[in-house]
Amino acid sequence: MKKLVLVLLIVSTAVFAQGPNKGGQGPNHEKIKALKTAHITSQLDLTSAEAEKFWPIYNEFDSKLMELRKNMRSENLGKLHKGNIDNLTDEEANEMIDKMLAMKTTELEYRKKLTQDLRGVIPPTKIIKLHRAEESFKRLLLDRLKQKGKDKGKPKNRKY
């Protein structure tokens, strides 16, 4: 019961701390963030003392990571997903590769800092579990998206 209350408190804090549609991120973003918070809390089995110290550190990491990814998208790296790769010059392609590698390097630096900051806050085994929880959450989201895509093609049973 205490864990449930803790999860609900953390989720509600995360949702309300964001304010209304911050940066164009709508209710879906808030819902995903709340689900991720609940998933990580459940997987790590954090005590209330651990959670109190863990979440501010993790939320700072997550915010920096989201900002980094947002900046990369705004720098026209979306071209990779739009099929325009064949139209790039070699110079443009090399520039894009350098930007992608720089982003991955920065992302790794953020992850190293997170790990360093979490040492002493939670046990090392929970730091490893955090990585697994993040990966399992990504798979969970992808599975839901796949299922949602499959459901779009099916006619809905409506009762009139």
Tell me which residue range forms the domain holding 92.
2-144
Residue range 57-72: mean pLDDT, rounded: 93
- CA gap 103, 131 in Å, rounded: 19
46 part of a folded domain: yes
pTM: 0.71
- pLDDT reported for residue 148: 80
Sign (positive or negative) of CA dihedral 70, 71, 74, 76:
negative
Q: Tens digit of pLDDT for each residue in 86-139?
A: 778 899 889 888 988 999 999 999 999 999 999 999 999 999 999 999 999 999
Q: Which of 5-9, 121-125, 146-150 has the lowest mean pLDDT?
A: 5-9
105 part of a folded domain: yes
102 part of a folded domain: yes
112 part of a folded domain: yes
132 part of a folded domain: yes
